[in-house]
Amino acid sequence: MINTPGSASLDEESRRLDAWFLMLGSLSDCLWHTNDMASMLENFCQILVSKAAYLSVEIKLTQQQDSERYYADAGRPVPATAQSVELPIQVAGLCIGSLRLHAEFNLNTDSEAYLLLMRLSNELGKAIEARTETQHQAISPVNLQSRLEILALAVEQSPFSIVITDAQGQLEYCNANFTAMSGFQLEDKLQVPVLWSANDGLDETRRAQFCALRDGEHWQGEILSRRKDNSLCWERQIVSPLCDADGHVTHLVAVKKDISVSKHQLKEVEQALLLREQALVSSSNGIMITRSDESDHSIVYVNPAFVRITGYSAEEAIGREGRFLVRDDLAQPGLAEIRAALRERRAGQALLRNYRKDGSQFWNELHISPVKDASGAITTHFVSVINDVSERVNYQKALEYQATHDSLTGLANRNLLNDRITQAIAWAKRQELTVALLLLDLDHFKLINDGSGHGNGDIVLQEVARRLSLCVRETDTVSRLGGDEFVIVLTDLPDTDDASVIAEKVLNALSKPFEVEGHHMFVTASIGISLYPRDGENGETLLRYADIAMYRVKEHGRNSVRQFIPEMGATAISRLNMEGALRRGLERGEFALHYQPKIDLRSNKIVGAEALIRWHHPQIGLIHPIEFISLAEQTGFILLLGEWVLTEACRQQMAWQQQGLPSLKVAINMSSRQFRQEDLSERIAAIFAGTGADPRNFILELTESMVMQDVDSTLITLRALKNLGVAISLDDFGTGYSSLSYLRKFPIDELKIDKSFINDIHENPDDAAIASAIIAMALSLGLQVVAEGVERKEQADLLIGMRCNQVQGYYFGRPMEAASFAKAVSAQQDAMS
């Protein structure tokens, strides 16, 4: 049985009462029948230790300059939690020494133990006084009378019941406590033998035992006594004989304590403990009780359910630590919580993978709780409840699998696909890698369903799923969107060409015949590819672009692969009511500017940025500018959009300056329709005036084709813009038909070399020669030169050698939101300071 704090306290109280009763008789002999003082004091200490469960007892007597010490202990260290008390020893009203005791039970001043010790201390003083008087002079009748009176008073006021009978057990004396407890008066002495009166068949046996006692012997135990009102009560009783000078027993002295209440309480506690033990045994959950020492959490108890769940017998488990159920499966998040709870001595819970004796795994929903001692201050044990929830966990996993996988093929469904794409993009962003989405549609699959039945069609789909899975790595994802559409997510691609290699591998795998019910069937597929980050930065955009590329494959004969290019999206997007969507988007704040850093090659620092528009459509997602700029040009919406871009860039420039950022030059792309406005300079001047932005911090980018359409008109417009203070940049230089004479005539500040000349300058000598010639020409004309589309270090190194002024491209930084751009500039400033 497992003792509760309440039961432990009650048992301890019962044991102390036993010890105290036995002690009283021994102390009486010690104090009044020991020949010399030293022996009396030594025996007094030893009796309190051996018969009253005190840890140590010390008597110090002080006489003038000398001090005498008498000591006894239980032979073990006194714990820090022990209680102590020190009582004076007085003789004739003077303190002659002290009685000091240590115990593991209550010694507070209101406790029964303390009150008893007070009486013992007084009795000890009287015994010392008696010994002193005996040594120095004979006891006078007056002194003897005084001592007798004091002794009678002590007996009469004792908290215990004291009776004195003749040798046959007939009552001759009883104190007030006995009268109150039993109801008997001294005049009842001839009616009832008060030492044995239960009429339970044992009275004669007890009488014989009591009457057989000899000098120095005691009987102690529990008896059932009958009160005067005929009710029964349990008493703890110590019986000692009184003998005459010849050693004949003349009287019996009994000290009694009513323990009926204690007996009842013990019975209730015993029943409660039995009930709790039966609950532990009957529990369907495994229960394990362990020690709580820092270095010892060994098992001290397991119930039958533990044996049933784990397969380990109680003998095999007790003495081991509970972690043996985890075996080597230590990489479990829940273990950290359990270790912390044990270390911090608190409750804790976790879901763990545990292993039975036969090696099979089960899911354990473990709950642990600390068990405190009676004071509630010290944790002595932990109770662990083991709940086998394998069925529930497996059911949940089955539900999760059904919610995230296609029921026919077992592949990931759309829900899981979206999650995998998000995770793949997040990882690729941190590692600066590429993610590819392959959207695959089976060609003319409807013919298989119509000709062979949907059952055979399902068999083909299952085989397609199997072959696709064999074409990719375990880290990649194959998903069925529904019908005959599949998506493959390729992660951690170092090169964009790897996606096309996998797509060709898929086409080869599908080219082999499918055997269904003895017939060979042939399946081809059209595959569209989109890439992160080149084509988009979220799954929705990438899926849409892969779908556009796949339909372009179908339009050109099927059974092939194509990667998405922005030009593919123009036709698809134009099918929407784009003009209305554009206007609503501007009203609803769906447009935003991203900023791509421009880097000075000599200092390798950010010196400006190009503002690039982005459209976050609430249904479609992120729409690439090439998909809507052309339509905006056609509809004239580009005029509103262009003014919004310049206004937003001015507002952001002012906000950065307020944040303490330097005055960085921001480049703004201008459309041909904007540039042909007769009042263009007035409109731009109004925007600068309205925002407070400095025109000298802005560059307007124009293409070669725009400025060469009407040279005379262009020259007038450019001069008006230059008068505002803005700089002029000729964008995509090299793709148009600029004349060098016009370059000298136009008030141009900057040339931007088109990306097509930069892509292969590190590999193609012709491209490198063209780029070098453009840079040399621009420098000779006193123009700044910017190379765009720099994606490799080798390209940047070549451009430095060609004396190119500035660069921009993915190698130095992608287009980013305004806050991220500001953070990058601030970090640069901090590094310089």
Domain ends where: 105, 132, 154? 154
What is the mean predicted confidence (pLDDT) over 787-798?
91
- pLDDT confidence tier of residue 2, bands split at 50, 70 and 90: very low
Residues 727 and 629 occupy one common structural domain? yes
Residues 519 and 626 occupy one common structural domain? no
In whole angstroms, what is the distance from residue 12 CA to residue 448 CA? 87
Residues 333 and 374 occupy one common structural domain? yes
Residues 813 and 670 occupy one common structural domain? yes
Asked whether residue 22 carries a pLDDT value surpassing 70, the answer given is no
Asked whether residue 452 carries a pLDDT value surpassing 90, the answer given is no
pLDDT for 3 equals 41
What is the mean predicted confidence (pLDDT) over 379-389?
90
Weakest-pLDDT range from 192-196, 206-210, 403-407: 192-196
- pLDDT confidence tier of residue 833, bands split at 50, 70 and 90: low
Rg (CA), the chain: 51
Residues 385 and 449 occupy one common structural domain? no
Asked whether residue 9 carries a pLDDT value surpassing 60, the answer given is no
Which helix (DSSP H) or strand (DSSP E) does residue 729 occupy?
Answer: strand 727-733
Q: CB neighbours of 36 closer than 8 A, spacing ≥ 6?
A: 131
What is the mean predicted confidence (pLDDT) over 410-429?
90
In whole angstroms, what is the distance from residue 822 CA to residue 334 CA? 41
Asked whether residue 198 carries a pLDDT value surpassing 90, the answer given is no
Under 8 Å between Cβ of 237 and 41: no
Weakest-pLDDT range from 94-103, 169-178, 311-320: 169-178
What is the mean predicted confidence (pLDDT) over 599-627?
85
What is the mean predicted confidence (pLDDT) over 405-423?
89
Percent of the chain topping pLDDT 70 = 87
Asked whether residue 102 carries a pLDDT value surpassing 60, the answer given is yes
**81 to 104, 252, 294, 373: CA distances (angstroms):** 7, 41, 19, 12
| Summary mean pLDDT of the chain | 83
- pLDDT confidence tier of residue 200, bands split at 50, 70 and 90: low
Asked whether residue 675 carries a pLDDT value surpassing 50, the answer given is yes
pLDDT for 270 equals 58
Residues 518 and 420 occupy one common structural domain? yes
**3-state class percentages of the chain: helix first, strand second, coil last, to nearest 5:** 45, 25, 30
Weakest-pLDDT range from 356-370, 493-507, 739-753: 739-753
Higher pLDDT, 263 or 154: 154
Domain ends where: 154, 179, 195? 154
Asked whether residue 11 carries a pLDDT value surpassing 60, the answer given is no
Asked if residue 576 is part of any domain, the answer here is no
- pLDDT confidence tier of residue 243, bands split at 50, 70 and 90: confident
- Quick: pLDDT tens for 536-547: 888 888 998 998
Residues 502 and 589 occupy one common structural domain? no
- pLDDT confidence tier of residue 397, bands split at 50, 70 and 90: confident
Residues 301 and 363 occupy one common structural domain? yes
Domain ends where: 392, 421, 451? 392
Range of the domain at 130: 34-154
Q: Report the CATH number that the domain containing residue 74 is assigned in CATH.
A: 3.30.450.40
Q: Report the CATH number that the domain containing residue 612 is assigned in CATH.
A: 3.20.20.450
Amino acid present at 141? P
In whole angstroms, what is the distance from residue 596 CA to residue 616 CA? 18
Asked whether residue 799 carries a pLDDT value surpassing 90, the answer given is yes
Asked whether residue 685 carries a pLDDT value surpassing 90, the answer given is yes
Residues 796 and 691 occupy one common structural domain? yes
Asked if residue 209 is part of any domain, the answer here is no
Asked whether residue 262 carries a pLDDT value surpassing 70, the answer given is no
| Nearest of 304, 372, 386 to residue 338 by alpha carbon | 386
| Nearest of 666, 601, 659 to residue 829 by alpha carbon | 659
In whole angstroms, what is the distance from residue 337 CA to residue 385 CA? 15
Asked whether residue 131 carries a pLDDT value surpassing 50, the answer given is yes
Percent of the chain topping pLDDT 90 = 31
Residues 487 and 354 occupy one common structural domain? no
Asked whether residue 660 carries a pLDDT value surpassing 70, the answer given is yes
Residues 415 and 313 occupy one common structural domain? no
pLDDT for 272 equals 62
**How many distinct structural domains can be found in the chain?**
4
Residues 619 and 724 occupy one common structural domain? yes
Asked whether residue 63 carries a pLDDT value surpassing 80, the answer given is no
pLDDT for 216 equals 75
The residue count of the chain comes to 833
Asked if residue 329 is part of any domain, the answer here is yes
pLDDT for 15 equals 59
pLDDT for 139 equals 46
Q: Report the CATH number that the domain containing residue 437 is assigned in CATH.
A: 3.30.70.270
- pLDDT confidence tier of residue 95, bands split at 50, 70 and 90: confident
Helix (H, G, I), strand (E, B) or coil at 537: coil
Asked if residue 70 is part of any domain, the answer here is yes
Weakest-pLDDT range from 172-181, 524-533, 623-632, 743-752: 623-632
Tokens standing for 46? 């030893």
pLDDT for 6 equals 43
Asked whether residue 803 carries a pLDDT value surpassing 90, the answer given is yes
Asked if residue 572 is part of any domain, the answer here is no
Asked whether residue 453 carries a pLDDT value surpassing 70, the answer given is yes
Q: Report the CATH number that the domain containing residue 351 is assigned in CATH.
A: 3.30.450.20
Asked if residue 276 is part of any domain, the answer here is no
Q: What is the pTM of this model?
A: 0.41
What is the mean predicted confidence (pLDDT) over 669-693?
92
What is the mean predicted confidence (pLDDT) over 109-131?
82
Asked if residue 251 is part of any domain, the answer here is no
Asked if residue 253 is part of any domain, the answer here is no
pLDDT for 269 equals 55
- Quick: pLDDT tens for 699-709: 999 987 787 77
| Nearest of 821, 815, 698, 813 to residue 749 by alpha carbon | 698
Q: CB neighbours of 456 closer than 8 A, spacing ≥ 6?
A: 448, 516, 517, 521
